[in-house]
Structure 1
Amino acid sequence: MTAKDLSLADQVALRMDNWKPEQGCPAWIESADRQCGKPNKEGYLCMRHHTVAVRRYEDHLLRERTKRELREAWREKSLPLWRAELAKVDAEIERRDQPVVRDRAAVGGVVHRSIRKKQAALMSDTNVRRMAALWAKHEELTKLIGADA
């Protein structure tokens, strides 16, 4: 019995964890409210339920492929928008996150009101909150873009 046989059995059986080969086909028959129990012909299943399981498995693969193609198309469409948004976020971070001035002549002692006002604005609660939101957005966009960045 292979992993493919088990995945086919999972398409029609309720449980496979306590199943034994002598129990027969583990497929659940909804109308009779019981397990099939016929002798196993293909892997874990009887021929009838093997055919049903193969059909369900192929339908499952088709649905997954369709979802993947839609996701990839959506990602390709969204990638330029995400890159543009990331550029805007980076520019806003650069504008708001001014480097700390280490020059004592510029900030030490008596300084001009405009310099003092600018320093206070950099550490305001509003700016700190906005910078945290910008960095969170930056991380989200970087994760969405992934290796294409």
Structure 2
Amino acid sequence: MPNAPVPPPGVPVLVLNGPGLGLPGLREPDVHGTDTLAGIDGLGRGTAAALGLRADRGRGNHEAVLIDAVHEARTAHRGIVINPAGHGHTSVAVRDALAAVDLPVMEVHLSDIHRGEASRGHSHVPAVAGTVICGAGAHGHALALTHPAQLLEDNR
């Protein structure tokens, strides 16, 4: 009987990126910065490891992909860091999925969603997120991981 793979150490936190996050560094670099997804993921993994977390990555352009990942996180993870991208502005369904899983949620955006187009200044996610970080670029993803680490420490 083969041995099951052993997950890497650390408390599992889902880091979920929505549409457009497959193109950071390419899509409107003057707004979203020049960091690539690989760079953002590397920064997040390093930050998570330093905090005793394991950053499990997910990404999808479609609303249903994000919702399925959030639902699966309910039993596999202890928190969610999500950059819903455009779905944060438009999707009550993503918001409802996050509310249903009863996990700490941190919303993060590379750019400041409150600058620019008025339609992008609103997000449905803060109603269920404990923390919102926007406008800090790739560093915002690292900052967003510090909150679940603190919450988990407080609840030990």
TM-score normalised to the size of structure 1? Answer: 0.20
Of Structure 1 and Structure 2, which has the larger fraction of its residues in strand? 2
Structure label with greater radius of gyration: 1
Of Structure 1 and Structure 2, which has the larger fraction of its residues in helix? 1
